[in-house]
A = this chain, B = another copy of it.
Amino acid sequence: MEVKARAPGKIILSGEHAVVHGSTAVAASIDLYTYVSIQVHPSTENDDRLTLQLKDMALAFSWPIGRIKEPLSSLGGPFPSTPTSCSTASMKLILALVEEQNIPEAKISLASGVTAFLWLYTSILGFKPATVVVTSELPLGSGLGSSAALCVAFSAALLACSDSVNVDMKQQGWLIVGESELELLNKWAFEGEKLIHGKPSGIDNTVSTYGNMIKFRSGNLTRIKSSMPLKMLITNTKVGRNTKALVAGVSERTLRHPDAMNSVFNAVDSIGKELANVIQTPAPDDLSLNAKEEKLEELMEMNQGLLQCMGVSHASIETVLRTTLKYKLASKLTGAGGGGCVLTLLPTLLSGTIVDKVISELESCGFQCLIAGIGGNGAEICFGASS
């Protein structure tokens, strides 16, 4: 039987960096997904294998089940209903399994994702032979939560295979997962994220699991429901950046200019709260929808100015801003800055011709453009033929 799962990426609508200093931030899911399909094979005597295919990169990794079972049998899985952290000892054993696959040097950043896969697979499904196929609409390592979407999609598909998820398997198409199952898969996904990121904030996997939007401040997450359609152009500058160095840079600037920077963080906090309000308040007609879009554009522009004030912009981001400004569109960087992705709000009444023009101008600068609906569903699963 084939089980599929998909999990969305995320954007930070407001508050990146400032959230580290106590400001409100707002994150939202985007309708760009990572897909995981699992085909569990009937067990045979000799030829049982676990295979992981990363289709987008034309890479495949494969282990004889015995090769995995031998070192990892101590893990004691399957224990899908009680997520645990990966011990240092298990981690070492898994890393050895990953290493023997000889991942090409240029793709070595995938190793941590493969590690998370092996950990989640054996922990949730134990040692069943299977073929797992991954595809994704999310660019990797550009701040759109690709690793969290991967961990959520893995967890969702694995839990569905383990029968821990309670859905009607006869239903067609993508199925929303129930609340208690979402909580379980979010916990597993977080454990996977830890193997990739060390100390993840938990924001990315939570947004990818539950979808919609999340307001967070000082470690408290509040799920909020958008009451307006929202579409963004996401421009991937393809400029790699060092998130840790950028976060440290903001902290150093805060030490040098405490008064000014604390006022800046207060401003970001106000913007986050206001943005959450605008998004949650129902718009009874088109007129008020346009007014709300204009408010969001203004808040995005303000947040971008404050991010520039924190010193996390980049020449590539400025190029995107300058280009979209020509078309009177509001943009802000999303995530760590210093490259990465830039959001541009696409108002409901904006003509497709303008969108095409902006995109072709941005692509001519070497950037990658994606259009995404904001605040859609989180993790979903699908049995048999996919939609």
Contact = CB atoms under 8 A, between A and B. Distances in A.
Contacts of A358: none
B309 A305 contact: yes
A263 B264 contact: yes
Interface stretch (A3-11, A75-83, A186-194, A310-318): A310-318
A321 B313 CA distance: 11
A307 interface: yes
B310 A305 contact: yes
A260 B302 contact: yes
A308 interface: yes
Interface string A304-343: 1111111101010011011001100000000000000000
A253 B302 CA distance: 10
Interface in A271-316: 271, 274, 295, 298-299, 301-311, 313, 315
A257 interface: yes
Contact of A299 (B257, B270, B306): B257
Given A302-B309, A305-B305, A263 B263 contact: yes
A267 interface: yes
Interface in A234-277: 253, 256-257, 259-261, 263-264, 266-268, 270-271, 274
A290 to B, nearest CB: 15
Contacts of A307: 305
Contact of A301 (B267, B306, B309, B322): B309
A267 B257 CA distance: 10
Nearest to A312: B305
B267 A260 contact: yes
A354 to B, nearest CB: 16
A308 B301 contact: yes
A308 B268 CA distance: 14
Nearest to A325: B315
A25 B60 CA distance: 62
Contacts of A267: 259-261, 263-264, 267, 309
Interface in A186-228: none
A268 B322 CA distance: 24
A304 B299 contact: no
A305 B264 CA distance: 10
A270 B257 contact: yes
A305 to B, nearest CB: 3
A276 to B, nearest CB: 13
Contacts of A304: 308-309
B308 A318 contact: no
Contacts of A325: 315, 318
Nearest to A259: B270
A311 B266 CA distance: 18
A322 B326 contact: no
A308 B311 contact: no
B274 A270 contact: no
Contact of A298 (B295, B301, B303, B311): B311
A157 B342 CA distance: 55
A302 B263 contact: no
A311 B326 CA distance: 14
A318 B321 contact: yes
19 contacts: A253-B298, A257-B298, A257-B299, A259-B266, A260-B274, A263-B263, A263-B264, A263-B270, A264-B264, A264-B302, A267-B309, A298-B311, A303-B309, A305-B306, A305-B307, A306-B306, A306-B309, A318-B325, A319-B322
Given A259-B266, A305-B308, A318-B322, 7 more contacts: A257-B270, A257-B274, A259-B267, A259-B270, A263-B264, A264-B267, A318-B321
Nearest 5 Cβ contacts at the A-B interface: A305-B309, A305-B308, A263-B267, A259-B270, A260-B270
